[in-house]
Amino acid sequence: MSKALGNNPGRDWEIFYKENELNWENKEYYTEKYMHSFLKSEWMHSLIAHLKPGQKVLEAGCGTGLFSIALAYAGYEVTAIDYNEAAIELSQNNLDLFNSQSEKKLKIDFSQGDLLNLEFQNNTFNMVFNQAVLEYFTDDDNFDKAISEMHRVTVAGGTVVAIVQNTRNPIRPLWNLMGLQFYINQPNVRLIHRQVLQKYFSRYFKIVSIDGLLPWKAVFMAPKKFHKVTYYLNRFFEKFVPQPKVLRSKIGIQLVVVGLKG
Ligand SMILES: C[S@@+](CC[C@H](N)C(=O)[O-])C[C@H]1O[C@@H](n2cnc3c(N)ncnc32)[C@H](O)[C@@H]1O
């Protein structure tokens, strides 16, 4: 008999979708112009760097569908699941919105599904990824099971990429001191840092690499009235003052872990 699993964050998100106004949903994102610039972002780069043109991708926990839509726009064959029907509806609406205001018409296979029990055969996708999903698996067995499911449905030679909040970022308490509230109204998150990701991913993948995203942005966080100054400081430093990977994965706002399936 399989081991009984603890809390599934899909259920916490179900409550979140019912009770909260989404403050991370923005209709202006679903245009070709926005997709162009989003595809140049560090988030998208961390995915596309591991793909060949036209390959098959699964987003496991798609939320608004933004990442899936951007990848479909870039020409990949995208399938996306989410535990919550509300998220699937939201993603489909966003795709319809994009198609209604763009020349390029995109197709994505959205469906309801559970990351802890993916309804796909072994070795199906060239890449399986998610963004802001794994950190909500506060139960260790479920965290492990989610990674093993992502691994199972990935082809040999393919990659699993997870982008997660750097919950132990040493600068994070400083944001709180400045009264900057991020990630409000979200379900509980687990402790995540480099070593945690390394430990769990190396159970399944022969090569694991970890990097930090937007490390300068973490440094230049400031109250709203200083946003213009910090925006330009941040852009300048990101362009001209690169940080070594070790530092990036210490202070990056998010961490990106890539597992290569042998
Ligand atoms: C922060 S949102 C992801 C945001 C997404 N990257 C975006 O760009 O909108 C987290 C999502 O993970 C989904 N999720 C949580 N547990 C899940 C599970 N067991 N299976 C599938 N999806 C799950 C939630 O329903 C929620 O939509």
DSSP 18: H
**Confidence category of residue 1, pLDDT binned at 50, 70, 90:** very low
Distance (Å) from CA 148 to ligand 1 centroid: 17
Question: 195, 207, 203, 205: which is closest to 255 by C-alpha?
Answer: 195
Residue with tokens 């890539």: 258
Query: Which pLDDT score, from 0 to 100, does residue 2 have?
Result: 44
Distance (Å) from CA 199 to ligand 1 centroid: 23
Is residue 256 classed as helix, strand or coil in its secondary structure?
strand
Query: Residue 67, exposed/middle/buried by CB under 10 A (0-12, 13-18, 19+)?
Result: buried
Distance (Å) from CA 28 to ligand 1 centroid: 21
Q: Which residue has the higher pLDDT, 188 or 80?
A: 80
Mean pLDDT on 117-134:
98
C-alpha distances out from residue 34 to 98, 115, 218, Å: 10, 29, 23
What predicted TM-score, i.e. pTM, was given to this entire model?
A: 0.92
Report the alpha-carbon distance of residue 244 to residue 122 in Å, rounded: 36
Residue whose CA is at the smallest distance from ligand 1 atom 13: 61
Residue whose CA is at the smallest distance from ligand 1 atom 5: 63
Q: Which domains does the chain have, with CATH numbers?
A: 9-168+188-215+247-260 (3.40.50.150)
Residue whose CA is at the smallest distance from ligand 1 atom 16: 10
**Confidence category of residue 239, pLDDT binned at 50, 70, 90:** confident
pLDDT at 224 over 80: no
Contact 147, 134 (CB under 8 A): yes
16-35 pLDDT per residue, tens: 888 876 666 678 899 999 99
Question: 191, 163, 257, 180: which is closest to 224 by C-alpha?
Answer: 180
Residues in the chain: 262
Question: 169, 165, 170: which is closest to 135 by C-alpha?
Answer: 165
Distance (Å) from CA 228 to ligand 1 centroid: 31
Report the alpha-carbon distance of residue 91 to residue 81 in Å, rounded: 10
Contact 77, 55 (CB under 8 A): yes
Question: 64, 76, 23, 74: which is closest to 186 by C-alpha?
Answer: 23
Which residue type sits at 235?
R
The mean pLDDT value of the chain amounts to 91
Query: Which pLDDT score, from 0 to 100, does residue 222 have?
Result: 76
44-78 pLDDT per residue, tens: 999 999 999 999 999 999 999 999 999 999 999 99
Contact 80, 89 (CB under 8 A): no
pLDDT at 253 over 60: yes
Query: Which pLDDT score, from 0 to 100, does residue 183 have?
Result: 65
Could you tell me how many helices (H) and strands (E) the chain has, helices first?
A: 11, 7
Pocket around ligand 1: residues whose beta carbon is below 6 Å from it?
Answer: 8-10, 13, 61, 63-64, 66-67, 81-84, 87, 114-116, 131-133, 136
Question: 200, 207, 191, 185: which is closest to 260 by C-alpha?
Answer: 207
104-121 pLDDT per residue, tens: 999 999 999 999 999 999
Residue with tokens 């930090």: 212
Phi-psi region of 25 (alpha: psi -120 to 50; beta: other; left: phi over 0): beta
Residues in CB range of 171: below 8 A, 6 or more apart:
218, 219, 221, 251
Percentage of the chain exceeding pLDDT 70 = 94
Mutate to test the pocket of ligand 1, among 7, 13, 94 (most ligand atoms within 8 A of CB): 13
